[in-house]
Amino acid sequence: MEELHSLADLLDLQEVDLQIDRLLHERQSLPELDEYRLAHEAATNADEELATAEQELRETSLALDKNDGELEITAGRLDAEQNRLYAGGLSARDADYLRREVEMLDRKRREAEDRVLELMEERERQEAGVAELRTTAAELAAAKAVLEAAIKEAWKGIDGKLAIKESRKGQIVPLVVEDLLDLYENLREAKEGVAIGELTDDMCGGCHLKLTAAEVLDAKRTDPPRCIHCRRILVT
């Protein structure tokens, strides 16, 4: 009688295990998971693109500050040299040298002004790009957060059901003799989760093949009964 009880309990255990398998599969197959992976990738790419753009903006701002400072120095020197030239009192040679110096400084000032203008335009363009990327990154992060919340909520419901099934499994396992339980676990691994077939009208519930009367008798003589076709445990 103990063996019969173990086999019946094992059939109950398999049903619980199959329910657990389905719940675990459902947990890992939520449609939101694929959407979340895509959203995570998009958000990560957007963050990286934003970080690159912000670094380029910082570099442009530093270059602008540097060139603006150099322009101020050059303009100051130009003003000073022009004042000396216009003040007079120089020899012809010194005056000619100073004129060439003023021309050189004036050329450098114009070049520096052009460079500063270019950098200002570049910084303005980059600032607009960074602002747009920040908006995009924020939108993608928000979409990712929505999916994450949906997944957590779905998992919460599934995990609650899993806890109930695991509790029920914990009640059944002690009722099954250890050797039978070991065989059941090995067969479950080898038979895609179905280790037991209920024998109904001489048909194995595991492989759904019919057994002859002689095969049924042979199966029942083994301990435990095993299907001759699929070698699953038979419960009658």
For 172-223, the pLDDT digits (tens) are: 999 999 999 999 999 999 999 999 999 999 999 999 999 999 999 988 888 8
Q: What is the pLDDT of residue 5?
A: 58
Residue 141: which residues within 8 A CB-CB, separation 6 or more? Answer: 43
3-state secondary structure of 107: helix
3-state secondary structure of 233: strand
Which of 94-110 are b and which e, b meaning 16 or more Cβ less than 10 Å from the residue's Cβ? Answer: eeeebeebbeebeebbe
- Where are the alpha helices (H) located in the chain, listed in sequence order? 2-28, 31-87, 92-172, 178-190, 213-221
Token pair, residue 120, equals 């200002």
Answer yes or no: are the C-beta atoms of 40 and 144 closer than 8 Å.
yes
For 1-55, the pLDDT digits (tens) are: 344 457 889 999 999 999 999 999 999 999 999 999 999 999 999 999 999 999 9
Q: What is the pLDDT of residue 104?
A: 93
CA distances (Å), 218 to each of 201, 212, 223, in order?
A: 16, 10, 11
Q: Residue 58: is its pLDDT beyond 90?
A: yes
- Within a 10 A sphere around the Cβ of 219, how many other Cβ atoms? 21
Alpha carbon distance 226, 7 (integer Å): 12
Which of 63-77 are b and which e, b meaning 16 or more Cβ less than 10 Å from the residue's Cβ? Answer: bbeebbeebeebbee
- Return the ∠ at Cα 186 (arms to 173 and 179), rounded to 5°: 50
Token pair, residue 205, equals 């519930």
Answer yes or no: are the C-beta atoms of 136 and 42 closer than 8 Å.
no
**Helical pair 92-172 and 2-28, crossing angle rounded to 10 deg:** 160
Domain spans in the chain, listed from the N-terminal domain onward: 30-174
CA distances (Å), 215 to each of 15, 52, 222, in order?
A: 26, 73, 11
pTM: 0.72
What CATH code would you report for 30-174? Answer: 1.10.287.1490
For 86-145, the pLDDT digits (tens) are: 887 778 888 788 889 889 999 999 999 999 999 999 999 999 999 999 999 999 999 999
